[in-house]
Structure 1
Amino acid sequence: MTTQNRKAEERQARRNLILNGALSVFKENGIDGATMEHIASKAGFGTASLYYYFPKKEDVFSAIMLKGWHQLWDSCEDTIISKNSPKEKFLTILNIIANHILKERNLYSFLFTAPQHSIQFETEPWKEFQGKLYKTLENLLEEGMTLGEFPKIDSNLLFKAIGGSFHGILLMGNNQKSLSRENIEGLFSRLLSTSISPHE
């Protein structure tokens, strides 16, 4: 490994420590109540070192959101462009997301339930990946309904079932380390049958 590569890895490791510390601070105090000093202390850095990586707390929040949504999109991209059926793609994507949740619970519980705040962001780069992923899932649902792979019901209600699936995954015990594609299909099917009524 070259010196340049080693330094880049060290910078990324320090950046990850900051983001992990900030996650705890944001969850404890909200975004409005968080301070750069508190984030630095939680991450084990001096405040001056934190400012080297992030000029303000809004940038830290944005980096957390971008990391999570970009990671999900990258993980799902091969499935999205595959030649599998809409249902198979849809359930595989849910499976990928579920296992990310189980692997990094703190990050994804924050991602899906980010606290309300009064801060106005100049840019929200994570929304590009969030929007693409949600739109892809919506399109796969619609294609699957057209082909008879899913019941013909309101896609908004199906998204509520997806949200219920993720919430259920977050509530699973820490001993649950992964879920299979079959686990996800069973969970999603149960939520569909118990919480959503098909249109007449």
Structure 2
Amino acid sequence: MRHEKVDVIFQAAVQVFAESGFDQAKMDDIAQAAGVAKGTIYYHFKSKEELFVGLMNEGMKRLIDCARRSIAVHDSPAEQLKALLHAHVHFFIQNEKLAKLVLNEAFGTKERQQQFRAKIREYLNLIQEILQKGMETGEFQLEHPQETASAVFGAASVVVLQKIYSLEQYGTQASVEAKIPAMIDSLQRVFFSGLTNHKT
């Protein structure tokens, strides 16, 4: 079982990295936010880099677990894709700061992202499996499941991120959550109009 202090450190790191960015974030600030000594962080993570990668991987792991739980109750690939979109939007809305970090890093180019991108690939593979299953059952009509999986991830992520930023100045968590049905409906209409010959 992972040490409970790691969760506390992760929560603090999300806050500091989201506010300051990786380069400007300081381990002292993370330690202060976590209410632990800086040495405690270094006991679990050798460097800021390792902490950041661990945080990103943990965030993606939680998203993947959330998506898997959501699709597990459905047999139809179409229903599984709907469930995944629903889980994706809800997860990132409920974890706004983590969403910003994950999505900024997903489209970045730095070397520290190599391990994190492996976790992104795991999520894309999950989406691709749903799409390929839908192709086999005849529910989906597409020629490039790998590229389509990336499109699903990208579109769903940008829709959420745009909404978070647009409401950041004057909105509340409740006002963002109120937009969830519209975001999910828009994503489903975009993808299912292209994947199938019938309306959702």
Does TM, scored on the shorter chain, surpass 0.5? yes
Using the TM superposition, give the Cα deviation of residue 37 of structure 1 relative to its aligned residue in structure 2, in angstroms: 2.3
Select which of 130, 150, 153 maps to 1:140: 130
C-alpha RMSD of matched pairs (Å): 3.6
The alpha-carbon distance between structure 1 residues 137 and 16, as it changes in their structure 2 partners (threshold 3 A), is same
Check conservation: 1:25, 1:38, Cα contact below 8 A.
yes
Using the TM superposition, give the Cα deviation of residue 162 of structure 1 relative to its aligned residue in structure 2, in angstroms: 4.0
Q: How does 1:31-70 map to 2 (within 5 A)?
A: 31-70=22-61
What amino acid sits opposite 1:110 in the alignment?
A: L
Match of 2:187 in 1: 188
Unaligned 5+ runs, structure 1:
1-7
What amino acid sits opposite 2:177 in the alignment?
A: K
The alpha-carbon distance between structure 1 residues 112 and 75, as it changes in their structure 2 partners (threshold 3 A), is same
What amino acid sits opposite 2:88 in the alignment?
A: I
Select which of 81, 87, 94 maps to 1:90: 81
User: In 2, Cα distance between the equivalents of 1:18 and 1:148?
Assistant: 46
The alpha-carbon distance between structure 1 residues 153 and 190, as it changes in their structure 2 partners (threshold 3 A), is farther
Match of 2:94 in 1: 103
Aligned length in residues = 184
What amino acid sits opposite 2:130 in the alignment?
A: L
Percent identical: 21
CA deviation map 1:67-104 (0-9, x unaligned): 21111222233455556111111111121121111211
Check conservation: 2:27, 2:48, Cα contact below 8 A.
yes
TM-score by length of 2: 0.70
Match of 1:177 in 2: 177
User: In 1, Cα distance between the equivalents of 2:128 and 2:121?
Assistant: 10
Check conservation: 1:87, 1:144, Cα contact below 8 A.
yes
What amino acid sits opposite 1:63 in the alignment?
A: G
Q: Which has the larger radius of gyration?
A: 1
Unaligned 5+ runs, structure 2:
168-172
The alpha-carbon distance between structure 1 residues 138 and 117, as it changes in their structure 2 partners (threshold 3 A), is closer
Q: Which has the higher helix share?
A: 2
TM-score by length of 1: 0.70
User: In 2, Cα distance between the equivalents of 1:119 and 1:33?
Assistant: 18
